[in-house]
Chains A and B, each alone.
Chain A
Amino acid sequence: MRKSSRIVIFAVGFSLLTALVLHLVSGDYIFIPRKKASADQITAGVKETDNSIARLVRISGAIEPGNVEVQILFLNPLSNLKEGNLVFRLSLNTLNVNLKNYDITRNVIFEDSRGTKITSGFKWKETHNLDYRHIMGILTVFDPGEQKALPAGKIKWIKLILNGIPDIRKREFLWKLIG
């Protein structure tokens, strides 16, 4: 058999097999809604499994009310804190407010239990934007304290305040240390 014939047989076989496998692993469209968290419910935290590592767990911050739904996830496992940067994932969803002109870095305030208050120097990296109505991104807070880190035990809580989002002008998100 010519080499070219073998190439053709391989190409055809590979394509058919790929189509079949992809079809078998694909599924129908199903969406199961997430359980809606209440304001007091613990909704976010670190995913460390080691119980010896203290963790900050968000204990307040309404996610539903208002015409813009705001969800914040604190991404830092405490053991990985480097150079004092705190990283949050923010998700803003709305049906009727255009967030094009909303500058997160100018409207956010960070506070912690040591009295640190940061009002500027935030970094915002947008990871998703649909029509300025569904926005997701990473907010980095630089150097929140003298220690350039948040060692367990030295800090009791951190807070993010988002100002200026229509309807509810001030939204607070509080994380407390547990464990």
Chain B
Amino acid sequence: MKKPGKNKLITVNPSIHTYRRIPIIALLLCLSLVSASLFIYQVTLTRVFSPMLRYHYVFLVTSMAIFGLGIGGYISYRLACRKRKTTSALRLPEWLMILAASYILSFSLIYKLPFINFYAVYSVIGALPFLAGGVFISMVFKIFSEQSYKLYFADLLGAGLGSVTVVFSLNQWGPVNTVLIAIGFTVISSLILSFYLPDKKEMAVPISLAVILGLAGIYQPGIRQFEERFTGYFTSPLTSLSNFRSDNIAHSLLDWNWDAYSRTDLINIPTFRQGRIVSIDGGSNSEMIRFDGDLSKINGLKRDLNYLPFETGSNRKTLLIGPGGGKDILLAILAGSTDIQAVEINRGSVRMAQKYASYNDGIYNRKEVTLHVQDGRNFVKQAPAGSYDLIYLAQVMTDATETVGFALAENFIYTKEAIRDYWKALDDQGRLAFILHDEKDMTRLLLTIKESLADMGISEEQFRKRLILVNRRMPGASSQTISMPLLMVRKSPFTSKEAAKLFQLIKSGRHTPIYIPYVTGDKFWANLKQFRIAAGKLKFTKRMNFTPTSDNKPYFYDFESSINISLLIILAGVILIALLFFKPAFRKIALKRSPYYFIGLGLGFMLIEIPLIQKFTLFLGHPTRSFIVVLVALLSGGGAGSLAGGWKRFNLNRRYLPLILVPLFAPLVFMLINTIINNWQITSLELRVLVSFGLLLPLGFFMGMPFPHGIKTLNLVKKENAVPLMWGINGIMSVGGSVLAVIISMKIGFSFSIAAGALIYLVLFLFMPLYEKKWEPVL
């Protein structure tokens, strides 16, 4: 391998010579820090957008912003083409200061400006740091292209570091401090690079900014105040706060907290004397009931439809999934539960309930309650058979976008396999109760349960004897309107006597029975089969999707039978940028085949990575944990692979062997994790993390090799000028790949996304588009 400083430079920028003074280790450190900072900002941006926008738009806006990285590569290429005055050309440390400045500007504008109802503006503002970062990284790859394996190692390692840092920092210190950390990483990198360059005066700017931000960071009350005044969220028309405003309901925001999973608000509504609202990401609400330990004062809750499941049998051992603000726990206590397992995925709700323990009598700390902060499905999988009298899920749905948009927005609690797990965890007389939102989720869940029970040998007729469906009577609502219905299934069939008694109970509670076996609702089944629930409410079913969900396709709330328009817009953006910016540039430098290599890598990597993050959520028990473990394993594995990628034996008959190993390993990992999830019960979290690393590291190892191999090849054929372009198109296609992964996962299933990714790697191996024909003599 050539040593830095001995290469003949072919670029037009004369200042490049000076960069040879920078020791490679310092350069790698800087690249890692910058890569980490960009990753941190990407996740923070997603987190900040989540309460402001609908979750699929969060994915759209953030993806569009990340296009900035690819466009940065293109800008870098254009800058290199221009013959500039050396005094006006920004140098590497200066680009980093521009990056630091753009973090400040971008975050402040998004956070502090009133809501902008034109989402493209958010994409442009969000893209600013990625543009600067894209220019910097692609310049580094170009200048030091002979070191591509090491550079890519540093890049991936930085992203891995970023994924750990951002989750830890968001959980501990909130988004503003997290952005400060990203800026800090960038400023440190700028200082390091400036130190090795001739003009030491240039260190003055990063030092000044470091001092200013350091002082700001030390003054935490100021940071807290900055964070508190979240104007973009306060003025968004898409939040619960906005609903209260438009309904002219007096309310105030009492408290809030952030973590890597969500923003959780505590809202006080004076007219709602019973309690307060706990709102997750501005959209998913639960109640925190005022409680002083005297159960007689909350007896009124027994009139609520949500209490009905507790009146239909024993409640000694109750599993509550998603109790949020704690109302469900109170219902269970009212019903005499002595063993309540409360499984809440959103740590913010629990923290809020615990902070206001004097208001709710420390609901999560009561002796009857055992709290588990994890995914409900994962908890049930670990439960011994016949454990519970009642498993209760009241409107379990987070509007939380999570870190990679759609990829983590859905969950595994409404799938066929989940129903099977619940069924197993119930005792013989046990009940499974869901409070839902409307006719759409009720229909889909019914069909999912029906199919799941059929798989277990329970026919439709037998299923109907186990089912009750009750509608909530809302003041002023038409009797046809299905609103927050109860769907309950009992493991043993109801007898006609029990059903009649239940019917009376429902009637006396002034609820509206939809289906009670032997008593009422026979017409309901006929309507259900034609999707004509609630007087034609679902008449557009041809365009809606109610197919039962499975662990391979768990997008329960995706009712669209067509592909979501936001996702198509991103795909169109990918194609448009590729055609408008990159294609002419590739033509200009006479590269016909090799761009397809980098396009394929961008698509393939994400098609494999995204479904793996999803699938490992089920294994690891929490989406955030899965996000960290999968990314750190794949990226650190990739980093190591990148270092080893230059080994000559990987080149066989002008083909690059790691490209064929990825399509072998990726499906294997997917099959193994499915087998482990379905057949093994690993209770130890440490062991689960270890197994995850064991599965993912080898895959990451081989996935990390092809990209630096491509850059190195460009260096060998003296095409360094193409490096920023290749880096850029790869970044753009990564966005396209993640969108494709989501589309395929939603419409066909995770396994197909993995297969598509593997297929791309296979095609790259077979056709090796990296090598242009005219390069043969050189190679």
Q: Do A and B belong to a common assembly?
A: yes
- The segment out of B240-248, B617-625, B665-673 that lies at the interface is B240-248
A66 close to chain B: CB less than 8 A: yes
From B88, B94, B474, give the contact of A67 (CB < 8 A): B474
Instruction: State whether B249 touches A7 (Cβ < 8 A).
Output: no
A49 to chain B, nearest CB (A): 27
B779 close to chain A: CB less than 8 A: no
A1 to chain B, nearest CB (A): 8
- The segment out of A18-26, A81-89, A108-116, A140-148 that lies at the interface is A18-26
Instruction: State whether B481 touches A18 (Cβ < 8 A).
Output: no
Instruction: State whether B108 touches A15 (Cβ < 8 A).
Output: yes
CB closest residue in chain B, given A134? B246
Instruction: State whether A3 touches B87 (Cβ < 8 A).
Output: yes
Instruction: State whether A95 touches B247 (Cβ < 8 A).
Output: yes
List A10-34 residues whose CB lies under 8 Å from chain B.
11-12, 14-16, 18-19, 22-23, 25-31, 33-34
Instruction: State whether A16 touches B104 (Cβ < 8 A).
Output: yes
CB closest residue in chain A, given B105? A15
B446 close to chain A: CB less than 8 A: no
B residues within 8 A CB of A96?
Answer: 474, 476-477, 481, 483
From A3, A31, A91, give the contact of B251 (CB < 8 A): A31
Query: What mask results when residues 199 to 230 of chain B are scored 1 for a CB within 8 Å of chain A, else 0?
Result: 10110010011001000000000000110110
CB closest residue in chain B, given A10? B101
B253 close to chain A: CB less than 8 A: yes
A31 to chain B, nearest CB (A): 6
A171 to chain B, nearest CB (A): 13
From B209, B225, B252, B474, give the contact of A31 (CB < 8 A): B252
Instruction: State whether A23 touches B241 (Cβ < 8 A).
Output: no
Instruction: Report the bound CA distance from A96 to B238 in whole Å.
Output: 17
B residues within 8 A CB of A15?
Answer: 101-102, 104-105, 108
Instruction: State whether A28 touches B477 (Cβ < 8 A).
Output: no
Instruction: State whether B87 touches A28 (Cβ < 8 A).
Output: no
Question: If A5-B94, A130-B238 touch, does A167 touch B477 (CB 8 Å cutoff)?
Answer: yes
B565 close to chain A: CB less than 8 A: no
Instruction: State whether B108 touches A33 (Cβ < 8 A).
Output: no
CB closest residue in chain A, given B222? A23
Question: If A22-B108, A167-B478 touch, does A134 touch B243 (CB 8 Å cutoff)?
Answer: yes
Instruction: Provide a sorted-by-A list of 30 A–B residue pairs whose CB atoms are within 8 angstroms.
Output: A4-B88, A4-B91, A4-B94, A5-B201, A7-B94, A8-B205, A9-B205, A11-B98, A15-B101, A15-B102, A16-B104, A19-B104, A19-B105, A19-B108, A23-B108, A23-B229, A25-B112, A26-B231, A31-B244, A31-B245, A36-B248, A66-B476, A93-B246, A95-B247, A95-B474, A97-B481, A98-B438, A166-B477, A166-B481, A167-B478
Instruction: State whether A167 touches B476 (Cβ < 8 A).
Output: yes
Instruction: State whether A67 touches B212 (Cβ < 8 A).
Output: no
A96 to chain B, nearest CB (A): 4
Instruction: State whether B209 touches A12 (Cβ < 8 A).
Output: yes
Give the B interface residue count (CB, 8 A): 57
Most buried by A among B85, B94, B101, B226: B101
CB closest residue in chain A, given B267? A29
B residues within 8 A CB of A7?
Answer: 88, 90, 94, 98
A55 to chain B, nearest CB (A): 25
Instruction: Report the bound CA distance from A33 to B244 in whole Å.
Output: 10
Instruction: State whether A33 touches B477 (Cβ < 8 A).
Output: no
Instruction: State whether A22 touches B109 (Cβ < 8 A).
Output: yes
Instruction: Report the bound CA distance from A23 to B223 in whole Å.
Output: 10
Residues of A in contact with B (beta carbons under 8 Å apart): 2-5, 7-9, 11-12, 14-16, 18-19, 22-23, 25-31, 33-34, 36, 66-67, 69, 91, 93, 95-98, 101, 128, 130, 134, 166-167
Question: If A67-B474, A97-B477 touch, does A16 touch B212 (CB 8 Å cutoff)?
Answer: yes
From B98, B105, B249, give the contact of A18 (CB < 8 A): B105
B residues within 8 A CB of A19?
Answer: 104-105, 107-108, 112
B residues within 8 A CB of A33?
Answer: 248-250
Instruction: State whether A69 touches B104 (Cβ < 8 A).
Output: no
Instruction: State whether A34 touches B248 (Cβ < 8 A).
Output: yes
CB closest residue in chain A, given B474? A96
CB closest residue in chain A, given B250? A33
Instruction: Report the bound CA distance from A29 to B89 in whole Å.
Output: 44
From B88, B208, B226, B474, give the contact of A23 (CB < 8 A): B226
B133 to chain A, nearest CB (A): 14
A36 to chain B, nearest CB (A): 7
From B229, B241, B243, B477, give the contact of A130 (CB < 8 A): B243
From A2, A22, A91, A98, give the contact of B87 (CB < 8 A): A2
B414 close to chain A: CB less than 8 A: no
B residues within 8 A CB of A31?
Answer: 241, 244-245, 250-252
From B98, B108, B228, B539, give the contact of A28 (CB < 8 A): B228
Instruction: Report the bound CA distance from A1 to B367 in whole Å.
Output: 69
Instruction: Report the bound CA distance from A91 to B231 in whole Å.
Output: 24
Question: If A12-B100, A67-B475, A166-B477 touch, does A23 touch B112 (CB 8 Å cutoff)?
Answer: yes
Instruction: State whether A29 touches B477 (Cβ < 8 A).
Output: no
Instruction: State whether B247 touches A67 (Cβ < 8 A).
Output: no
B537 close to chain A: CB less than 8 A: yes
B646 close to chain A: CB less than 8 A: no
A114 to chain B, nearest CB (A): 35
A residues within 8 A CB of B475?
Answer: 67
From A8, A27, A34, A166, give the contact of B98 (CB < 8 A): A8
